[in-house]
Structure 1
Amino acid sequence: MLKYSRQREAIKTFLAGRYDHPTAETVYLGIKEEFPNISLGTVYRNLSLLSDIGEIQKLSTGIGPDRFDGNPAPHYHFICKHCGSVLDLSVDGLDHINVLANQGFDGEIEGHITYFYGKCADCKKNS
């Protein structure tokens, strides 16, 4: 059983109210007012722990620093190659990817992570 932490709960609450998939630094700046003595290292450790136990998602997009998602349920993400924003995608019907990937594979597929890349609506509009 994980010991209760006010700081960890504040991080979860901060993420739960956001859909922009903030970086660890953004989370740190967002809770620093409530916890003025918190360190960036403490935020990183708690984000890593929350990700490891499945309460949040850590997104390693390959563009910029890792991002964090307060929604732990499986879903897809879009990454803008121009501005670096990370957006949730509502995509139905991709569950069969696990079945397809399992064909001809001797192991067992338990899940997948897929990122979609391109230009977000704002970048598309401004180009």
Structure 2
Amino acid sequence: MERSIRYSKKREAILAAIQGTSCHPSAEWIYQQLKPSHPDLSLGTVYRNLIFFQERGDIRSVGVIQGQERFDAVVTPHSHFVCEYCGAVIDLPHLTLDSEMDHAVSQQYGLMVYRHELTLHGLCPDCIKQKKSKEETRS
């Protein structure tokens, strides 16, 4: 028997916070954003709802970046760029994910690949500017 899902203002606010930003928030970021308008919100409630939304397919985890799991409301396949300095996560929606690779990996390794994700790592434009600025100051 399927359990009914009760409506919750906090649950709705948590999902709206994730869907309303492109920063790929952490649970802590969501908590800090919502705490002023929901004083009885706990970090545990945020975590439980993030798990709930992932299980329903409303959001997905981008991975752990600088010690915090980050989330994305865009669940269609797309790639990401992670800045190794500031931790920014940037969507790369126009980078083509080659489905041929899924087939090739399946064949080569005897696996059944359904999809793959690509995450590039480096420095974002702001951090590149900061790095150049620091280097010019030292010269």
TM-score, normalised to structure 1, is 0.89
Cα deviations by residue, 1:59-103 (Å, 9 ceiling, x for unpaired) = 213532111112222211111011111111123332323122222
| Alignment RMSD (CA, Å) | 1.6
One-letter code aligned to 2:124: C
Partners of 2:55 and 2:118 lie apart in 1 by 19
Is the alpha carbon distance of 1:74 and 1:2 closer, same or farther for their aligned partners in structure 2, counting shifts above 3 Å?
farther
- Give yes or no for the alignment of 1:100 onto 2:104: yes
1:48-67 pair list within 5 angstroms: 48-67=51-70
Gaps of 5+ in 2: 132-139
Q: Paired residue for 1:115, among 113, 116, 119?
A: 119
Contact 2:102 2:115 in 1 (8 A): yes
Partners of 1:75 and 1:9 lie apart in 2 by 25
Q: What does residue 43 of structure 1 align with?
A: 46
Cα deviations by residue, 1:4-32 (Å, 9 ceiling, x for unpaired) = 22211111111111001111111011111
Q: What does residue 75 of structure 1 align with?
A: 78
User: Following TM superposition, where does structure 1 have runs of at least 4 consecutive aligned residues deviating by more than 4 angstroms?
Assistant: none
Q: What does residue 91 of structure 2 align with?
A: 88
Q: Say how many residue pairs are matched.
A: 127
Partners of 2:40 and 2:65 lie apart in 1 by 31
Larger radius of gyration: 2
Percent identity (aligned): 38
Contact 2:65 2:87 in 1 (8 A): no
Structure having the larger proportion of residues in helix: 2
TM-score, normalised to structure 2, is 0.82
Please state whether the residue corresponding to 2:108 is helix, strand or coil. Answer: coil
Gaps of 5+ in 1: none
Contact 1:61 1:79 in 2 (8 A): no
One-letter code aligned to 2:64: T
